[in-house]
Amino acid sequence: MKILCAVKRVVDYNVKIRVKTDQSGVETSNVKFSMNPFDEIAVEEAVRLKEAGTATEIVVVSIGPAQAQETLRTALAMGADRAILVQTDVETQPLAVAKVLKALVEKEAPGLVILGKQAIDDDCNQTGQMLAALLGWGQGTFASKVVPADGKVTVTREIDGGLETVELALPAVVTADLRLNEPRYASLPNIMKAKKKPLETVTPDSLGVDVTPRLTTLKVTEPAKRKAGVKVADVAALVDKLKNEARVI
Amino acid sequence: MANILVIAEHDNAALKPATLNAVTAAGKIGGDIHILVAGKGAQAAADAAAKVAGVAKVLLADDAAYEHQLPEDVAPLVVSLAKSGYGHVLAGATSMGKNLLPRVAALLDVAAISDITGVASADTFERPIYAGNAIATVQSSDAVKIITVRTTAFETAAAEGGSAAVETVAGAGAASLSRFVSAELTKSERPELTAARVVVSGGRGMQSGENFPLLEALADKLGAAVGASRAAVDAGFVPNDYQVGQTGKIVAPELYIAVGISGAIQHLAGMKDSKVIVAINKDEEAPIFQVADYGLVADLFKAVPELTAELDKR
């Protein structure tokens, strides 16, 4: 079974982002970028399925600017076999990404597509569901366990009250939650080897997909700031403040 | 003005509170509000939906295929209803809403708008991005707006006072792409995390799951729910569904007590809209103190039992 993984290049999760003064967006020049953490988990899961003999080939895909090649190289260093960059400088919104992925799925015919459950920049949590819809496949979102067997995949999902297990007919789309696995670090030899793995670059046009954003961002602003609080000396003072000043207990 | 369809979240017997927050958000958009209850033997949930203040009509799709509300089965139903003349389709941004609505949006070939915290107009909405460190105002030109609603950003609509008619709608049946196998729900006597007035959360500083009863004792005194940081969940102290943060639950209680939590960006994203934040941490440099209204620099193993005892006294 071939597995397709989608990865996104995002501002590193540790960066304290700054909103641009003209409210056009978030400052992204001279900021550290890395692979979206949920996508690392998706790639790790694909690599584990290959190591277990379930998967035969792992194709990683990214949609974005030329620099997304680095993100794909990281995935190759983790153990993916080859990469496809769909290069565009347009802001990539989930519906457009899902359409690009659908075009690639039709070309590559994977048995399973694994994505992260959400990107930590737009926080949308949409692309996997949209891709499953466009393909007419089942979806196993927020997965903390994925077991493919006999033309089906059993997915344990993290839901609000606990866990839920569903069984999907393959091919299917799975989105990874944090608890799915612990992604490996790419070793230096593997990073060197990844440089020689194939990385194909295509454009959305060549796939026949229009990636023009459907939502217009009118402005991006800073959230309301909390005013600085006080430190209290002991538990009695804390209870006193909560009771008499904040009046919450 | 086009009508608004709110997708009910329910367990076939009762409505989940997220539905009520979505109704309030729908009220800010303007237009007749209809609630869709898709389930199996869900008459009771539909009756409850009909009593919600501000609701004009309840649509009940009762079919064995909808028992567990799998998105593969429910999405086609919502799509056919949306095409019949709704301008907006809303659901709470819960695991159910997030799972279903993007699938609906793609089938309608429209963008989805996730986790809105504000309604500027019928086509313009506010939503947090980058773990809540920026607020984007987005405008949609799509014919149908597909929206999930951050429940903590909108009040709950009154569960009583409405008298909507319940109308039965036919479903398309099972899509046979997926099958529900089982659910393993965390049992708790305490209030639900996302709806609680007070939340007590523990982090890595708790050191082990055996120490969580300390927080539970405090929570019981306050009628609070117990939450956790990702570190505490990953270390196995408590189940995953306790996690508060960007990728866990978003809470905005009146009082949030963070115990042994450093305050990473991803955790703050889930709780910084709380009315009053208290931090108990022995590291006075911990970032949590930058958002805390009241900070206590102390060893939690001493401070938490003291706090519990102090509350007992009063």
Q: Is residue A59 within 8 Å of residue A20, measured between CB atoms?
A: no
* Chain-chain contact of B296 with A133 (C-beta, under 8 angstroms): no
Nearest CA-CA distance, residue A204 and chain B, Å: 17
Half-sphere exposure of B252 (CA within 13 A, CB side): 10
pLDDT tens for A26-45 read: 999 999 999 999 999 999 99
Provide the pLDDT for residue B209. 96
pLDDT, tens only, A87-131: 999 999 999 999 999 999 999 999 999 999 999 999 999 999 999
> B25 is written with which tokens?
């958000």
Q: Which residue has the tokens 């120490």?
A: B211
Q: Are A142 and A158 in contact (CB under 8 A)?
A: yes
pLDDT reported for residue A72: 98
Which amino acid, B7? Answer: I
| CA-based nearest residue in chain A for residue B115 | A124
CB contact under 8 A, B112 and A234: no
List CB contacts (< 8 A) between B131 and chain A.
120, 123
CB contact under 8 A, A223 and B265: no
Contacts of A102 in chain B (CB under 8 A): none
- Cβ burial of A241 (10 Å; 0-12, 13-18, 19+) is buried
pLDDT at A228: 79
A186 — pLDDT class (breaks 50, 70, 90)? very high
Residue B1 predicted with pLDDT over 80:
no
Q: Is the confidence at residue A200, as pLDDT, over 70?
A: yes
Residue A60 to residue A75: CA distance in whole angstroms: 7
In this predicted structure, the answer to whether residue A242 has a pLDDT above a threshold of 70 is yes
Alpha-carbon distance values, B267 to A193, B227, B247 (Å) = 37, 11, 9
The answer for residues whose C-beta is within 8 angstroms of residue B271's C-beta and 6 or more apart is B199, B201, B227, B244, B245, B250, B251, B252, B256, B258, B277
* Tokens at A53, concatenated: 């003999």
Does residue B80 have a pLDDT over 80?
yes
10 Å CB burial of residue B66 (0-12, 13-18, 19+) is buried
Instruction: Name the band, by pLDDT with cuts 50, 70 and 90, for residue A227.
Output: confident
Measured CA angle at A133 (ends A127, A136), to 5 deg: 140
Task: Please indicate whether, in this complex, the C-beta atoms of B186 and A161 are within 8 angstroms of each other.
Answer: yes
Residues 6+ apart with CB under 8 A from A161: B183, B185, B186, B241
B130: Cβ contacts below 8 Å, ≥ 6 apart: A11, A17, A26, A120, A121, A123
Q: Between chains, do B293 and A230 touch, taking CB under 8 Å as contact?
A: yes
This prediction has a pTM of 0.95
Shortest distance between the Cα of B206 and any Cα of chain A, in A, equals 18
The mean pLDDT of B29-34, rounded to a whole number, is 96
Q: Which residue has the tokens 């102290």?
A: B237
| Position A135, amino acid | L
Nearest-CA distance from A226 to chain B in Å?
6
Q: Residue B313 — pLDDT band, cuts 50, 70, 90? A: confident
- From the list B105, B132, B239, which residue is nearest A223 (CB)? B132
> Any bridge partners for residue B38, and if so which?
B61
Q: What mean pLDDT value characterizes chain A?
A: 96
Q: What is the pLDDT of residues B105-125, one digit of tens each?
A: 999 999 999 999 999 999 999
Structure-token match 């059993």, residue found = A154
CB A87 within 8 A of CB A201: yes
**From B185, B246, B291, residue closest to A162, measured CB to CB:** B185
The answer to whether the beta carbons of residues B255 and B198 sit under 8 Å apart is: yes
